[in-house]
Structure 1
Amino acid sequence: MLQQSVDPRHAINDEPLQLSVVIPTKNEAGNVEPLLERLGVALAGIEWEAIFVDDSSTDGTPELLTRIAQSDRRVRLIRRIGRRGLSSAVVEGALASTTPIVAVIDADLQHDEKVLPDLYRAIADKGHELAIGTRYAANGSTGEWAEDRLKISRFATALASPIMKTRLSDPMSGFFAVRRDILLEAAPRLSTVGYKILLDLVASHPRPLKVAEVGYTFGTRQHGESKLDEMVALEYLELLLDKAIGRFVPVKLVQFGAIGMLGVGVHLTLLYMAMNMVGAPFATSQALAVIGAMTFNFALNNKFTYRDQQLKGFAWVGGLFSFYLVCSLGAVANVGIGSLVYEQFHGWWIAGIAGAIVGSVWNYVASSWLTWTKR
């Protein structure tokens, strides 16, 4: 009788899993199978599993992973609906693991999977708590990066230096392995903002970690599209801000306030144009300026501050009118509090500042609840 050959990647044994490889995906259908093939070769001799965390891919990635996972028990899939972001995806995947060591690798084949065994052994055999694949240590390289991108990366690394408890040559790396208990210790403090989960980890852990660094050459994407856009830079700055002041002031409140200050400029500009260029009466000009400034503030907050809950289509229109309502009530609160403070202290500037602060906080809290509430 002929014996059916068994693909060693699919073989089932009783050995405990030693390593979970967490792989965030967003439209990476063309890279999934090549990556699994490479992991099977690189991690031979290590009992491993791959945990894919998919953020609502539309190119068939989750369907492909579902088919693969049905025949390969080492492949798991977490599908996220209504949630987004590489950092939060990594955390969710890591928390779903039970292995003593968790590794993180991108799905786009730009990280050199042949380095994974070195990262794993640095922790399992040599007692390190964290092992990172670095582009800037010995034997490391950024590959085909243009000089401009290299300068931006180095500048971002310099910005991160003040918040890191553990010194790293490449805190922007998304390619690393960590003891699972170390990640669990940091988990309650993680910001999970944006793409830089390694930086978040070393900034959030209460103490410096024992680190090993392994150089690798950053590869070139073969399939799919890069996720790098203007939002990546914004989310990076948001992460830095959260680590610096997030214990005292919500970062979204800072963003909301900054957009509010821009809105003051928009208000004054529209007021000037309506009165001096159109010749409208002050009351009419003021009303147009108020509506214009509120619309401006809503649009920017929807695009940036609340991009993870961004309203589109008819929801955008409904959100705009709810924002009008919130800000109108905020204006009443502004005037009321300002008047009370003025009666007590007779200082117009103190009263003005007090009213503005109360109005701004009201607008932030109320719009978070009414306009951008999670549905």
Structure 2
Amino acid sequence: MDEISQSTTIELQSPIVCPIELSLVVPTFNEVDNILPLIEKVECLLDGTINWELIFVDDNSPDGTSETVRAIAQRNRHIRVVQRVGRRGLSSAVVEGILASSASVIGVMDADMQHDENILPLLWKAVAQDGFDLAVASRYADGGGMGEWNQRRQSISRGATWLATFVLKVPVSDPMSGFFVISRQAFMASLPKLSTIGFKILVDILASAPRRPSIKEVPYEFRARKFGSSKLDSAVEWEYIVLLTDKLLGRFFPIRFILFSFVGSIGVIVHLSALGVSLNLFGMRFIVAQSIAVLTAMTFNFLVNNFLTYRDRRLRGVKLLYGLFSFYVVCLIGAAANVGVGAYIYNAQWTWWLAGIAGAAVGAVWNYAVSAAFTWKK
């Protein structure tokens, strides 16, 4: 036994001959056609110069992306896959990929072949050898470009960049870039405050850093996508606004609570509209009309919160129906708490409007906290 233990200790203490120098994290969703071309380009570029690993983090793509990467990994020791089930989102995928990596220098790039992999050695050198915390591939630095983007998309990108610069107060020309290399030390410093909301992980890292990182920018020309479809839509733009709001106000209030309350305020309008239509258009009795209005408002609040507030935990199919039922139960109990607290304060000789506000506040907090735990639980 002692000999076995001693042998194991010697084996564990033996030096690593070729440590990983660059862990490249690539988040994916339905990118099966881009996997092999990307691996071939990275392999051709880095083999013999940098000891690397390529980690694909796939959100359970229905097109077989995970299976494709896993098959390649069987014969290529540089390749790994992290397959996520029940979780969505580029930023959170990048975080999981970095935490699953081993190198002290980590790169992040998209799988869609729009990032110019040829500048990877320059990005790596800036961090690994020149001592920068972060090296950003920039479309806006001198020598960079937006490629074939039309004027509308360029205007949206520049507007989003201006907003990020306003929030971050960090001198970087392309904070929206999804192509960068960062030291593990700099990433781990930002990790505790990361929001992991949406697609712009670099904005999140910069806004969460405890100190201003040293940054090197490397220009590149953004390329057109050849395979697959773009993930950019109005929901992505909404998530970006949510991320910036979280970076501005998140230290005071949870961003989900802000969104939940915003949706609830719109739900009041929906409630009153449904009540007015039921009473005035259909001539229903008040108790019937009020019941319909309450049910309509709760359904509206659930669907909008499911799409926006809890987009990363969005319920679908049968789970959507179970979630709706649990939301009804939560809100009915919240309504009882609202009435109970309001009546207690009113009976204590406080003014009616203060009693109303207190009841509404208790109901809102209850609905948010309990629905997060039961309706949209992780």
Identify the match of residue 197 of structure 2 among 176, 193, 198.
Answer: 193
Q: Which has the larger displacement, 362-371 or 311-320? A: 311-320
SS of aligned partner of 1:212: strand
Structure 1 partner of 2:343: 339
Structure 2 partner of 1:161: 165
Structure 1 partner of 2:8: none
> In 2, Cα distance between the equivalents of 1:312 and 1:64?
26
Q: Which runs of 5+ in 2 are unaligned?
A: 1-15
> In 2, Cα distance between the equivalents of 1:162 and 1:261?
28
C-alpha displacement of 1:42: 2.2
Structure 1 partner of 2:12: none
C-alpha displacement of 1:307: 2.0
Tell me whether 1:30 sits opposite 2:33 in the alignment: yes
Cα deviation 1:132-181 (Å, max 9, x = unaligned): 00000011001011111111111111211233153210000000001111
Percent of residue pairs identical: 51
SS of aligned partner of 2:53: strand
Q: Which residues of 2 match residues 121-160 of structure 1 at below 5 A?
A: 121-160=125-164
> In 2, Cα distance between the equivalents of 1:319 and 1:173?
36
Identify the match of residue 304 of structure 2 among 294, 300, 304.
Answer: 300
> In 2, Cα distance between the equivalents of 1:136 and 1:173?
10
Cα deviation 1:189-208 (Å, max 9, x = unaligned): 11111111111111101000
For the aligned residue pairs, the C-alpha RMSD in angstroms reads 1.4
> In 2, Cα distance between the equivalents of 1:185 and 1:176?
17
Q: Which residues of 2 match residues 161-240 of structure 1 at below 5 A?
A: 161-240=165-244
Q: Which has the larger displacement, 99-108 or 41-50? A: 41-50
Structure 2 partner of 1:8: none
SS of aligned partner of 2:348: helix
Cα deviation 1:62-106 (Å, max 9, x = unaligned): 111111111111111111111111111111111112212111110
Q: Which residues of 2 match residues 1-20 of structure 1 at below 5 A?
A: 14-20=17-23
SS of aligned partner of 1:121: helix
Letter in 2 for 1:28: E
Cα deviation 1:235-275 (Å, max 9, x = unaligned): 11111111111122111111111111111001111111111
> In 2, Cα distance between the equivalents of 1:110 and 1:190?
26
Letter in 2 for 1:30: D
Structure 1 partner of 2:324: 320
Normalising by structure 2, report the TM-score: 0.93
Cα deviation 1:276-334 (Å, max 9, x = unaligned): 11111222211111111111111111122122222222322222222111111111111
> In 2, Cα distance between the equivalents of 1:346 and 1:118?
67
> In 1, Cα distance between the equivalents of 2:18 and 2:117?
22
Identify the match of residue 106 of structure 1 among 86, 105, 110.
Answer: 110
Count of aligned positions: 362
